[in-house]
Amino acid sequence: MNELPLGPDVHRTSQAVSWPNGARCAVAITFDFDAETMWLSRDTSNARRPALISHGTYAAKIAIPEILALLQEFGIKATFFVPGWTAENHTARVEQILAAGHEVGHHGYLHFWPEPDKPAEEEKEITDGLEALHKLFGLKPLGYRCPAGETTDRLIPLLQKYGFIYDSSFMDDIHPYVHSVGGKSSGVVEIPWHWSIDDVPYTVYSLRGQRAIQTNDHILNIWETEFREHHARGALFDLIMHPQAIGRLSRLAMLRRFLAFLKGFPGVWFASCGEIAQHVLAQQNKGAKA
C-alpha cells in the first residue's frame, strides 16, 4: 500500500472542549479582509484592470464601515484576517477595526497561495505580512489564516517559529485542537473552518468562473442548520466572511438576520479566535498539570 505523506494529526481523535462559564458552544465571527489582493495575487497584470479589482476596493470603501456598525449593534468582537498589502493600502480601515476592539490576524502579504516546492516564497509571505502589521500598527498577530484554504506541510512549524498561537486553515474537525509537530504539542491551536460556512462559494461571481449567485434564504438555510448542529455538539462555529462579498447591502441584511438567530440560542460564547486559542491552551496546560 502506498502511504500518503500525511502528518501525525491525521490519526488524532476529535475531542470536545469545555467552554468558559459553562457555555455550550463557541462562535467566532471572522472576516478575511482581502480587498484587491484576491485579484492581484492570482495575476499581477490585474493591477492594470481597475474595474476588475474594484470588486476588492468595495471591501475597504463601503463594506468595512457597514460591518463595523453591524458588529457594534450586536456587541460582537470579531476577528479580521488582513494581508500585509491590504494593511499598507487601506491603513485607516485597519485602524478603525482595531479601534473598535476587534482582533487582527495574519493573512499572508499579497494573498499568495503557498507552493509546496517554493519554501522561501512561503516564508517571505509570512515575514512580509508580519512586518507590515508591526510597522503600521505595532501589532504582533496571535493567529494566521491561509489564503484560499491553501497550505503546505511546512505551515505549522513556520507558525511555531514566528510565535503564532493559532492557525485557522484546516477543515478536519468541528472542535479546536492543538497541532502536533514531531510527536509533540506545537503550541499552535487549530480553529477549523469549512467552505459551507464561508460566504464566497455562494456569493462571488466572475465571468471567467460563472456560477449562480445564491439567494439569502439558500445561504441561511445552510448556515442555520450548520449552527444548530454545532450548538448541539458543543462545537466551535467558525463563520468566515469576506467584506467584498458579505458587504453587499442585501448580504448585510442577511448577516443581521443570522446574528439575531445566533443570539437567540442559550450558552453561546462569542469570542475572537485569539481568545478561543488562549482558552484551549490554558485547558491543555491545566490537563498537563493534573
Query: Where do contacts with Zn ion occur on this chain (CB under 5 A)?
Result: 32, 34, 147
We find the least distance from the C-beta atom of residue 267 to Zn ion, in angstroms, to be 31
We find the least distance from the C-beta atom of residue 167 to Zn ion, in angstroms, to be 14
129 vs 110: CA distance, rounded Å: 8
Q: 272, 102 in Cβ contact below 8 A?
A: yes
The residue at minimum Cβ distance from Zn ion is 32
- Cβ neighbourhood burial of 82 (10 Å; 0-12, 13-18, 19+): buried
Phi–psi pair at 175, nearest 5 degrees: -115, 150
Phi–psi pair at 23, nearest 5 degrees: -60, 150
Cβ distance to Zn ion smaller for residue 107 or 231? 107
- Please state whether 44 falls in left (phi above 0), alpha (psi between -120 and 50) or beta: alpha
We find the least distance from the C-beta atom of residue 64 to Zn ion, in angstroms, to be 15
Q: What residues pair up with 237 in beta bridges, in sequence order?
A: 27
Q: Which of 71, 126, 135 is nearest to 103 (CA)?
A: 71
Cβ distance to Zn ion smaller for residue 32 or 199? 32
Q: 126, 158 in Cβ contact below 8 A?
A: yes
We find the least distance from the C-beta atom of residue 37 to Zn ion, in angstroms, to be 7
We find the least distance from the C-beta atom of residue 147 to Zn ion, in angstroms, to be 5
Cβ distance to Zn ion smaller for residue 141 or 147? 147
